[in-house]
Amino acid sequence: MIARLSADEVAALRLALHTEPGRRRPETLAALSERDDLIRTLAATYYPGLSRNQQAKAIRRDLLRYAGGEWRRTRSDEVCRHRDNRRVLYWRILRLRGGHVPAVRTIFGILGVRG
């Protein structure tokens, strides 16, 4: 496909895909945005009666527990095998960022922004 592009078209494509130093790539921004939406959904669905700080701590605790156990068996799956919606959310959150569990402070900030 790229072989069919002219030199000017390749240069324009390279410029469009270029990210300045210190800036996040578009795919990283999209993954973070989706992760944030999933975290807000998790908080609203499974931790509705808690304060934002309590929600952040509970979400991190549960994500760490999942990451230390079931995630090890399911991280290479192309499609989530879980039937439980809560574990599907955990799986999707970890999948988006390579298994990284966000800090309480990060989750707290995410919950403070309405998506």
> What confidence category does residue 53 fall into, taking pLDDT thresholds of 50, 70 and 90?
very high
| Long-range CB contacts for residues 11-20, cutoff 8 Å, separation at least 24 | none
| pTM for this prediction | 0.80
> Residue 114's pLDDT is what?
74
Nearest CA to 62 out of 34, 97, 98, 90 is that of 90
- pLDDT tens per residue across span 66-108: 999 999 999 899 998 999 999 999 999 999 988 999 999 999 9
Nearest CA to 107 out of 51, 44, 36, 49 is that of 36
Do residues 110 and 40 touch, judged by C-beta distance below 8 A?
A: yes
Q: Where are the domains of the chain?
A: 27-111
| pLDDT of residue 35 exceeding 70 | yes
> Residue 21's pLDDT is what?
75
Greatest pairwise CA separation for the chain in angstroms: 58
> What confidence category does residue 59 fall into, taking pLDDT thresholds of 50, 70 and 90?
very high
